Amino acid sequence: MAQVVPDYFEPEGGAVLTTLLIVRDVDRSREFYERVLGATCIREREPCILRFRNSYIVINTEGGPTDDKPTVRAQAPADSQILSCAMNIRVNDVHAVYDQWRSRGGEFLTEPKDHGVEIRCYLRDPDGYLIEVGQGTGILETIGRAPRPAPAPI
C-alpha cells in the first residue's frame, strides 16, 4: 500500500496535523531527524519543515513573544528529565527500527521492552525531546486484530 503524504502547505481536506519542536539549534536538530529517523527536509529554516513518513516535523528556534502570541515564549525543554510531551512513532517491527536508528547514531534510553500490550523504547533528540518508538502486540487482540508480519524497517 502506497503511503499518502498530505500536502503541508495546502492540505487536501483543509487540515494536516504536524509536530512543532522548539529547539536551540535548528541545524543540529534537522541533521538528527534526517540522519537518525530518515526524515526529508522540505524547508531548511524559519521554520524548518521535515517530512517523516506520513507526517511532518516542524522545527523552529527559541524566541520571545510575537504579535499573534503576545504572552508566550518559545523555549526548548529546560529539563529533559521532565516530560510534558513526546513524539510517539508506531512501527511494525520495533526491534528492526531500534537496530537501524542505533546504527545511525540514535541513543536510546533502553533496548525495546515488552509490556504485554506493546513493545516500546525511547530515544531523545538533541534538545532532549523524548521520542517513543512502539509496536502494538497484545493491544491488537483487545481490539480484535492480529499482529501483521513485520515489513522492512523504516
Write down the residue that cell numbers 519543515 correspond to: 49
Read off the pLDDT of each residue in 130-139 and give the average, rounded to a whole number: 88
* Contact residues for 143 (Cβ-Cβ < 8 A; gap 6+): none
Return the number of other C-beta atoms located less than 10 Å from residue 80's C-beta.
13
Strand partners, 48: 59
- Please tell me the predicted confidence (pLDDT) of residue 139: 78
| Band of pLDDT at residue 125, cut at 50, 70 and 90 | very high
User: To the nearest whole percent, how much of the chain has pLDDT over 90?
Assistant: 67
Question: pTM of this prediction?
Answer: 0.84
